[in-house]
Amino acid sequence: MAITRLPSAGFSITIRISVTADASAIGRLTTCVGEAGAIVTALDVVDSDPTTVIVDLTCDTADATHADQVVEALTALDGVDVRKVSDRTFLLHLGGKIEVSPKVSLRNRDELSRAYTPGVARVCLAIAENPADARRLTIKRNTVAVVTDGSAVLGLGNIGPAAALPVMEGKAALFKRFGGVDAWPVVLDTQDPDEIVAIVRAIAPGYGGINLEDIAAPRCFEIENRLRELLDIPVFHDDQHGTAIVVLAALTNALRVVGKKLADVRVVVSGAGAAGTAIMKLLLRQGVGDIIAYDRQGALHRGLPDLNPAWQWLAENTNAEGFSGDLPAALRGADVFIGVSAPNLLSGDDIAAMAPDSIVFALANPDPEVDPREARKHAAVVATGRSDQPNQINNVLAFPGVFRGMLDAHAEEFTEEMAIAAARAIADAVGAEKLNPTVIVPSVFDPRVAPAVAAAVRAAAHAPTPPPAADPGPADLPEIAAEAAAPASPLSS
């Protein structure tokens, strides 16, 4: 039942090869790579002499084992010497993916004296006198902490803070690329909720928002709730709310495609963790017909003893009929399946037993709950978290625009109203003229998405439209400078 892995840019390798320089040499290399199931994406001649040519051959493979097989096949060719193999994903990560870059030039004493000491002291005092000025005079206005304890990283589990860092750097890069937000990873060597809350509370003054990331359920709920109480900046748990926003957007459009209404559909959710719980809460808030929630031990229902508070809430607010059968049984006649749990739980036959025009979102990464190619044989709309399948559902459609909007609005909290507004903006970004079973979410690279989400979030925060630039324009500065400089300026006496 496992999904067959296809060659992907995520497993791209560059192989440096020395080959005898005859007319068919290059052709033999590319044929060999193709026959081994990889896809050649580039071939560069690095050097040559009268008898040999040295090339860098770049190809997409399916995984690390497949990459080894491709290299072995090349090595076995006559007249071929494989000199070096580079994993392009690892090359891209050398030294990390983000850096701090000054926005001011520091070319001489004049600039140094204003950007740093002694000039900076007056700015510090201005903020000490009026803490709200931190948003105008420091990075706080545009900076988000991406906080993790490394306890639930992607679908990889509890791999710890250092191993989580590449994901957090990636999030920070996405924040900047799609939302213009300066985000910085904060990886914590503790998984104790009290310590996490204390640390985040202590670092909060330097940030305009907190993005919790890859913290395992159910601790993530407690940590988020406590921080929301304590802080005057928005706290957003991306795995919960980012996912829930994009799933609501995708489901809105999928229901448009099949002509059903949210209030009429029965939804089965596999995985009542961070993502699943937030998805269910948002769907319930939007008036979904009914939901049955599954986790490892089966369906959540009112009769189950010793549930944690999050599951107790779900047991009381879902599964109206008190169904307690297995997952395939729950799917019989269901309109929608949403998987945020584990790979390969369902077969094509399970999907075939759903209601006509069913919708399947199999979102476990990297391998979904059901092979999407099997699911597509029976369901009207299928989405996954994968970039090599149509309808990729990923939080990146939500979080850059959500934080752009919250920062611009100087929002003090993230609200459900913002989540619903963001989901509507993402759904509407597809547009009736483009909507079909394979296009229910906009492209990650659609430049209209993040601004539309930001505008929707700002409106939900009841904030006025900000000026186009996130930074203060020159017109703002004299007023701030005069205000801030007056008490301490040596020139003013």
Ligand X SMILES: NC(=O)c1ccc[n+]([C@@H]2O[C@H](COP(=O)([O-])OP(=O)(O)OC[C@H]3O[C@@H](n4cnc5c(N)ncnc54)[C@H](O)[C@@H]3O)[C@@H](O)[C@H]2O)c1
Task: Quote the CA–CA distance of 475 and 491 in Å, as a whole number.
Answer: 22
401 binds, among ligand LMR, ligand X, none (CB under 5 to 8 A by kind): none
Q: Is the peptide bond before 193 cis (omega within 30 degrees of 0)?
A: no
* Residue 365 touches ligand LMR, criterion: CB under 6 A: yes
Q: Which is nearer to ligand LMR, 276 or 385 (CB)?
A: 385
Which of these, 359, 322, 227, 338, lies nearest to 273 by C-alpha position?
338
120 binds, among ligand LMR, ligand X, none (CB under 5 to 8 A by kind): none
358 binds, among ligand X, ligand LMR, none (CB under 5 to 8 A by kind): none
Smallest separation (angstroms) from ligand LMR to the CB of 431: 24
Contacts (Cβ under 8 Å, ≥6 apart) of 55: 16, 17, 19, 26, 29, 43, 44, 45, 46
- Say how far residue 44 (Cα) sits from the centre of its chain: 34
- In the list 183, 217, 418, 454, the residue contacting ligand X (rule: CB under 6 A) is 217
Choice among 171, 207, 260, 281 that is catalytic: 171
Contacts (Cβ under 8 Å, ≥6 apart) of 476: 136
Q: What is the edge-to-edge ordering of all strands in the sheet holding 298-299? A: 298-299, 290-295, 266-270, 336-339, 359-362, 381-384
* Residue 273 touches ligand LMR, criterion: CB under 6 A: no
Which letter does DSSP use for residue 211 in this model? E
107 binds, among ligand LMR, ligand X, none (CB under 5 to 8 A by kind): none
Q: Do 196 and 235 form a contact (C-beta atoms < 8 A)?
A: no
Task: Quote the CA–CA distance of 425 and 460 in Å, as a whole number.
Answer: 12
Q: Is 116 a catalytic residue?
A: yes
* Residue 384 touches ligand LMR, criterion: CB under 6 A: no
Give me the half-sphere count of Cα atoms (radius 13 Å) on the Cβ side of residue 57: 29
- In the list 18, 142, 148, 394, the residue contacting ligand X (rule: CB under 6 A) is 394
Q: Which is nearer to ligand LMR, 241 or 260 (CB)?
A: 241
Choices 89-97, 141-149, 152-160, 427-435; region in contact with ligand X by CB under 6 A: 152-160
Smallest separation (angstroms) from ligand X to the CB of 77: 39
Task: Quote the CA–CA distance of 96 and 237 in Å, as a whole number.
Answer: 24
For residue 377, count CB atoms less than 10 angstroms from its CB and return exposed for 0-12, middle for 13-18, buried for 19 or more.
exposed
Choices 28-36, 48-56, 253-261, 269-277; region in contact with ligand X by CB under 6 A: 269-277
Smallest separation (angstroms) from ligand LMR to the CB of 366: 8
Q: Do 184 and 99 form a contact (C-beta atoms < 8 A)?
A: no
Question: Would you give the binding string for ligand LMR spanning residues 135-154, x where CB under 6 A is met?
Answer: -------------------x
- In the list 155, 160, 170, 466, the residue contacting ligand X (rule: CB under 6 A) is 155
Q: Give the residue numbers marked as catalytic.
A: 116, 171
List residues near ligand X by CB under 6 A.
152, 154-155, 216-217, 239, 243, 270-276, 294-296, 340-342, 345, 363-365, 385, 393-395
List residues near ligand LMR by CB under 6 A.
154-155, 239, 365, 385, 394-395
